[in-house]
Amino acid sequence: MEAADKKGTDTRERLIQAAGEVFAQRGFKGATVREISRQANANIAAVNYHFGDKEELYYEVLKNSLSSVMEKYPPDLGVTPESTPEERLHAFIRSLLFRVLDESRPTWHARLMAREIAEPTAALDQMIENILGPLYGYLTMVVKQLISDEANDELVHNCMFSIMGQCLFYHNARHVISKLYHKKFGPEVIERLSTHIMRFSLGAMKDLGILDTSHAKANYISSQ
The residues of the shown chain that bind DNA, judged by CB under 7 A, are 1, 7-8, 10-12, 31-34, 42-50, 53-55
- Decide: 9 and 98 in contact? Cβ < 8 Å: no
Question: Which one of the spans 5-13, 15-23, 46-54, 164-172 is the region binding its own copies (CB under 8 A)?
Answer: 164-172
Q: How many residues sit in the footprint of its own copies (CB under 8 A)? A: 58
User: Judged by CB under 8 A, does residue 134 bind its own copies?
Assistant: no
User: Judged by CB under 8 A, does residue 181 bind its own copies?
Assistant: yes
Site string for its own copies, 2-41 (x = CB under 8 A): ------------------------xx-xx-----------
Q: Which helix (H) or strand (E) holds 174?
A: helix 174-181
Gap between the Cα atoms of 153 and 45, Å rounded? 52
User: Judged by CB under 8 A, does residue 70 bind its own copies?
Assistant: no
State the minimum distance, in angstroms, from the CB of residue 17 to DNA: 14
Gap between the Cα atoms of 31 and 53, Å rounded? 13
DSSP character at residue 7: S
User: Judged by CB under 8 A, does residue 173 bind its own copies?
Assistant: yes
- Decide: 73 and 104 in contact? Cβ < 8 Å: no
Rounded to the nearest 5°, which phi and psi values hold at 179? -75, -35
Beta-strand (E) ranges in the chain?
none
Gap between the Cα atoms of 26 and 2, Å rounded? 34
Sign of CA dihedral 86, 69, 98, 119: negative
- Decide: 23 and 31 in contact? Cβ < 8 Å: yes
Contacted entry of its own copies, DNA, none for residue 32, CB cut-off 5 to 8 Å set by kind: DNA
Gap between the Cα atoms of 28 and 32, Å rounded? 8
User: Judged by CB under 8 A, does residue 164 bind its own copies?
Assistant: yes
**Comparison of 66 and 167: residue with beta carbon closer to its own copies:** 167
**Comparison of 42 and 101: residue with beta carbon closer to its own copies:** 101
Q: Which residues bind its own copies (CB under 8 A)?
A: 26-27, 29-30, 114-115, 117-120, 124-125, 128, 132-133, 136, 154-155, 157-159, 161-162, 164-170, 172-173, 175-177, 179-181, 191-193, 195-197, 199-208, 211, 221, 223-224
